[in-house]
Each structure stands twice: as structure tokens, then as C-alpha cells.
Structure 1
Amino acid sequence: MSLPSAPPSLAPTLSERIADQLRQKITLGEFSPGQRLSEQALSDSLGISRNTLREVFRVLTKDGLLRHEPHRGVFVVVPSIAAVIDIYRVRRMIECQALALAYPRHPAKKSMRAAAEKALQARDAADWLSVGTANMDFHTAVVELADSERLNVMFRQILAELRLTFGLLQDAEFLHEPYVDMNLRILELVEHNEMAKASAAMLDYLIHSERIVLAVYARRVSREG
């Protein structure tokens, strides 16, 4: 007797697709922390009804990227220091393990190389926002080494939160320039299949990045009272 076949995976709904689009816009730095989102403007630009947009807002609010304030509207979240610490904790767990256990000929290595080269070009042009985006592409490729769609989805969410944190700090060159060469060093280790060393280098990288982000964040919070 043959077993019943598994049901086909469901295609994403319209609201899920739009939520992915807005999540990507946040990751690309197109929305600022604390920014109020206009229902009318967004529904017009996205070509969707306001009811659909409200469902999108509910999804992204559940994800922790938006917040609703009664009688005021929907706002992009301002990440807390506790959220930043948690983001880096999760990144260390995911990225270091992905590198340590990666298959030697994994195709994501090519994506890492492409992202690193894009960051170099953007740095030469002093386009620091694009450097930041290329840096996120690099780390997305690192996570893809794990061959887990669940981790890929989770990491996209983490990157969106991280981009909001960077948006608060308002010094893209300071935040992104040092890590172009760090990424290249990790890439060099990966391309030579020295995965244990690459994992250790990523751990050092993330510890350094967390300390810098938290220090700048704390100064900003202190300055604003």
C-alpha cells in the first residue's frame, strides 16, 4: 500500500509577500527607527487595500519590527539595548556554527565572495549605506552555509532589526568601514577551507561589533536623556 503524498507547500499570501517586501525595505535602510508609517501612502505605493496593509502591519508588529500606538498610528520600532544584546547572542550561535560545519564546496561561498567585492566597490565610492547592505548580504550567505531554510528566515528577521539599530547610530562609515576587511579575512579562510579558523574569526568579529554598537548606542541614549 502506497503512502499518501505530502500536500504541496502553500504559496505565500498577498499579506505575507508584502510583509517580506517591507521587511526588505527595513533591511535596506529605507525606513528609520521611530518613523510613523502612513497607511494611505503605503497602500497607494504598494497597490494594496488598507485592510491588507493592516494585516501586514499585524505580521510585522508580531515580528517586533513595528509597534502600534492607539490614536497615533503605526511606527517603526526603536530597538532597545536588550534587543541588541540578544541579536548578537543569536548571531554568534548561528554564524559561527554555520562556518564551523559548512560543506567544503558549498555554493554560498560564491555569494560571500560577491558580497565582499560589492562592499569593496561601495567603500571605494564612499557609499556607506551600500557598504552596510553588502555586509548584510555577506552574513546572509554565511548563514546559508547551514542549509536550513528556517535559519535563513530567522536571520532575515534579525538583519531587519539590526539595520534599525544601525539607523539609530547615524554614522554609517564608522559602523561599516572596519568590517569590509574583516569580512575579506573570513572569506579568505573559508576559501582555503580553514573553517575552524573562520568560525573563530567570526566570533571575534561579532564580539567586536557588539561592543562598538553598544558603546555608541549607550552614548546616544545618555545624550538624549
Structure 2
Amino acid sequence: MGTKGSELGELAGDRRLLGRTSTAERVADILRTRIAEGFFPPGARLSEDSIGGALGVSRNTLREAFRLLTHERLLVHELNRGVFVRVLTVEDVEDIYRTRRLVECAVVRGLGEPPFALDGLRSAVADGERSAREEHWPGVSTANIHFHRELVALARSARTDELMRGVLAELRLVFHVVDDPRGLHEPYLVRNREILDALEKGRRGDAERLLSGYLDDSRARLVEVYGGLVADGDAVER
């Protein structure tokens, strides 16, 4: 699976994000966002010439951006074939959820005394519920990712935020393969609301219990569905 001309035209519009001093980090930010959005799906080959031309950056700058995203486990370099968006294994999914459980539950457990700064969580919950009413299921998916990033942001740790950004970006690679945002996320809207309600009432223990069950159920469901796709060979097109 390669990169289409229409996609490259859209990517060229991202040049304005680079400013006058384009750097590998800025290019990586653009590509990371595009990967998270499904613009470059799992298994897609990233052409240096096409993407470099669309963004107006040098081959060396693009290669450095690729290196950064490979380190983040979003890309993989295959000898004599090129750079591809990574296709996760079922074991990867299990590991992502182990990490999420460790980080997210620890953040809730370690919160100080209430009241907590919950505006970000309230916004994410409201966005998800509004998208569901409008039957805009990709919006529900985005709001759910936002919810978990805002939850971790309660720790007020730039390092934890960066870790979670990478973990959730990897997870979205799986979501794009499953391609069922309604089935994956709609059942958890009410659970997001329950976690928020518990935190608003200062009940950290209840919030952690709800979150733990949420992550266990989400992991089991995603492993079941994604595992079936991997077994059937439908996880990627090359």
C-alpha cells in the first residue's frame, strides 16, 4: 500500500505548520498526527521522495523524523523495502494495556486532596456524548482518547504525559485496523461519565476501581476482535 496523489496534496497543506525553520521534530509531529488520524494506515509504506516533496523538507530531515517515529514504535524500517507504519501484534496490544493500567490507575491513586482539576475530563466526556448523539463515531473515538490523556494529565507530569501520548498513538494503530469506532467506544461513554462523577465527589478509590474494570474489559474486547483479524490476515494490506 503506497501513498496516493490526493493524500500527498493534502499533506502538502501541512507545510505551513513547519514555519521558516523546518526541523525533524516538527516533521515528526505532523506525521505522528497523520498516522493517528489514519491518513497513513498500518502497513502503509512512507515514500521519502513523495512526503519530502509534499512537505518541502530535505531527505536528511525526513529520515531523522522517521527515526524519531521508529523510536516511538509508530514506524518500522524493513531492510531493502523502506519505512512502513507499524502493524501491531496481539502481544503489543496486551502490553499497551498493561502499561495503561499501571500508569492510569497510579495517577488516580496518587491524586491529592479534592477538589481535582477536572475541566479537561468534563470537556472530553461532553465531546464524546455529543458525538454519540450526532452518530459521529470517529468523534467518539477521539473524545475517548482525549479523556484518557486528560486523566493522566491530572498527575501534572510532562514525562507521564509524553509516555501516554506514545502509548495512545500506538493504540490508535489498532483502532484503524479494527475500524469500528462505535463498537469499540460507545459502550464506554457511560463508564467515562461514572469515573468523572466519582472524581467530582472526591472518591479516588471508586474511580480507580471503575477505571481498572474499564481497562480490563476494553483490553479483552480489543484483543478478541484484533486477534481475529490478525489470524485471518486482515490486519494489514501491503
Report the TM-score, using the length of structure 2 for normalisation: 0.84
Q: Is the 8 A contact 1:186 1:198 kept in 2?
A: yes
Pairing partner for 1:90 from 99, 105, 109: 99
1:130: which partner in 2? 139
Pairing partner for 2:86 from 77, 88, 92: 77
| 2:112 equivalent to 1:105 | no
1:173 deviation in Å?
1.2
| 2:187 equivalent to 1:185 | no
1:211 deviation in Å?
0.1
1:160 deviation in Å?
0.7
Q: Is the 8 A contact 1:129 1:172 kept in 2?
A: yes
| 2:34 equivalent to 1:29 | no
1:70 deviation in Å?
2.7
Distance 1:126 1:45, change over 3 A: farther
Report the TM-score, using the length of structure 1 for normalisation: 0.89
1:220: which partner in 2? 229
Distance 2:116 2:28 in 1: 30
Q: Please list the CA deviations of residues 184-221 of structure 1 after superposition, one character each: whole Å capped at 9, or x if unmatched.
A: 11111111111110011000000000000000012112
Q: Is the 8 A contact 1:23 1:157 kept in 2?
A: no
1:20 deviation in Å?
2.4
Which moved further from structure 2: 109-118 or 17-26?
A: 17-26
Q: Is the 8 A contact 1:28 1:133 kept in 2?
A: no
1:137 deviation in Å?
0.5
Unpaired segments ≥5 residues, structure 1: 1-12
Letter of the structure 1 residue corresponding to residue 233 of structure 2: E
1:224 deviation in Å?
2.4
Q: Please list the CA deviations of residues 57-86 of structure 1 after superposition, one character each: whole Å capped at 9, or x if unmatched.
A: 011112211011233221100011111111
| 2:174 equivalent to 1:165 | yes
2:212: which partner in 1? 203
- Partner SS state of residue 67, structure 1: strand
Which moved further from structure 2: 19-28 or 55-64?
A: 19-28
- Partner SS state of residue 147, structure 1: coil
Q: Please list the CA deviations of residues 97-126 of structure 1 after superposition, one character each: whole Å capped at 9, or x if unmatched.
A: 11122232343x100110111111111122
Letter of the structure 1 residue corresponding to residue 80 of structure 2: H
**Where do residues 28-67 of structure 1 align in structure 2 (5 Å cutoff)?**
28-67=37-76
Distance 1:164 1:20 in 2: 16
Distance 1:46 1:112 in 2: 34
Count of aligned pairs: 212
- Aligned-pair identity in percent equals 41
Letter of the structure 2 residue corresponding to residue 130 of structure 1: G
Unpaired segments ≥5 residues, structure 2: 1-21
